[in-house]
Structure 1
C-alpha cells in the first residue's frame, strides 16, 4: 500500500518553494502570516497552506509547480474543489 504523497519529500520541497515566495493568498488577496509554523500553523486559519489552482479531485497535479498556489488555511478549506468564483468576484445579495 502506498503512503500519503503529501508526506513525501517532493511535496514538502514544493511547499517550501511556494512558502519562500511569500505571496499573498491567491484566493482572498490578503497577506498570509508565514511566521505561523508547526502546531500553531496547523491550528491557525491565517497560516500558509499549499493550494492547487486545479483541484486534485478535478485532475490537478499534486506536484506541478504551475498548479501550486499560496493560500490561507481558511480560504483553502472554504474553496473546496471549486475552480471559479473567488470571494471578491461573487455577486452579493440585496435584501
Structure 2
C-alpha cells in the first residue's frame, strides 16, 4: 500500500459516517462543534476529530468502525496514545 491511509477513501468514509452520528466527545462528554469544517477545523480545539479507542500506535485498526470515536481536537491531542483516560475524582466533601 502506498501513500498515507488517512488520505484514502475508506478512512474519509469512516470520518463522514462518524461525523454524521453527531455524538458528543467520548472523552469529555461535551458537545462537539460539528459545524466547524474545512481548513479551520484543523486548528480549532472544539472541532471534530476521529479518535481511536485503541490507539494506532498500540495496535488499533485505523479503519475499524468499532474502534472509531468522536472527539474534540483538544481532547484527542491531550489523550495522546494512552489506552485509558483520567477519571474525574470523587469529591472528598460529603
Indicate the residue corresponding to 1:51 in structure 2.
51
Distance 2:77 2:2 in 1: 25
Indicate the residue corresponding to 2:24 in structure 1.
24
Does structure 1 conserve the Cα–Cα contact (< 8 Å) formed by 2:55 and 2:81? yes
Distance 2:11 2:28 in 1: 24
Indicate the residue corresponding to 1:71 in structure 2.
71
Hey, which bits of structure 1, 4+ residues long, moved more than 4 A? none
C-alpha RMSD over aligned residues:
1.7
Unaligned runs of 5+ in 1: none
Distance 1:36 1:9 in 2: 21
Distance 2:65 2:59 in 1: 15
Q: What SS does the aligned partner of 1:28 have?
A: coil
TM-score normalised to the size of structure 1? 0.90
TM-score normalised to the size of structure 2? 0.90
Q: What is the aligned length?
A: 91
Indicate the residue corresponding to 1:9 in structure 2.
9
Q: 1:26-71 deviations in whole A, cap 9, x for unaligned?
A: 0011000000001111110000000000000000000000000000
Structure with the largest fraction of helix:
1
